């Protein structure tokens, strides 16, 4: 494999509507809190669920991410690392099958310019480093 094609499609928010949790880093928490004008402590109390090894956004019951609006992510410039790096997550970059499975709901996969595999793996590494609790 020499590379992967990807270009996020305007108006699409499919990745924000998938089942699963949005994990965040300590830096993400501080950045997101600042972006919405809250103290990190208050932001965490309201939006974050903390376990021993992981932080994740609380999901409203029967709903999607707190920050998803009709026109997209309301905290886009400060969004969590996992959201920013998608679809170059290790589990997708390392598996042709998983990459193709994700293409079933991410219309940006397979479109746009070719991203060199080294670059894609570099982003996957950033993801691994950001979430050591997930990729041990």
> In the numeric block, which tokens belong to residue 64?
């999607």
If one asks whether residue 107 binds ligand SF4 (CB under 6 A), the answer comes out as: yes
Do 118 and 111 contact (CB within 8 A), yes or no? no
Q: Report residue 68: phi and psi, to 5°.
A: -85, 130
Q: Report residue 116: phi and psi, to 5°.
A: -55, 140
Stretch near ligand SF4 under the rule CB under 6 A, chosen from 8-16, 48-56, 88-96, 119-127: 8-16
Minimum CB–partner distance for residue 105 and ligand SF4 (Å): 6
Subset of 40-99 contacting ligand SF4 (CB under 6 A) = 65, 67-68, 73, 75, 79-80, 83, 86-87
User: What Å distances lie between residue 26 and 31, 37, 107, CA to CA?
Assistant: 9, 17, 30
Residue from 44, 48, 55, 108 touching ligand SF4 (CB under 6 A): that is: 108
- How many binding residues for ligand SF4 (CB under 6 A)? 21
Residue from 8, 38, 54, 59 touching ligand SF4 (CB under 6 A): that is: 8
Q: Strands of 23-24's sheet, edge to edge?
A: 23-24, 55-57, 48-50
By CB under 6 A, name the binding residues for ligand SF4: 8-9, 12-16, 22, 65, 67-68, 73, 75, 79-80, 83, 86-87, 106-108
């Amino acid at each position: 494999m020499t590379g992967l094609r990807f270009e996020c499609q305007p108006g699409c928010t499919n990745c924000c509507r998938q089942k699963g949790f949005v994990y965040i880093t300590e830096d993400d928490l501080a950045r997101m809190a600042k972006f919405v004008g809250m103290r990190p402590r208050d932001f965490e109390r309201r939006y974050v669920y903390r376990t021993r090894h992981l932080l994740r956004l609380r999901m409203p019951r029967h709903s999607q991410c707190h920050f998803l609006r009709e026109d997209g992510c309301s905290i886009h410039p400060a969004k969590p690392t996992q959201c920013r790096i998608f679809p170059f997550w290790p589990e997708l970059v390392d598996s042709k099958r998983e990459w193709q499975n994700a293409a079933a709901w991410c219309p940006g996969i397979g479109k746009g310019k070719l991203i060199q595999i080294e670059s894609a793996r570099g982003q996957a590494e950033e993801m691994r480093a950001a979430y050591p609790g997930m990729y041990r």
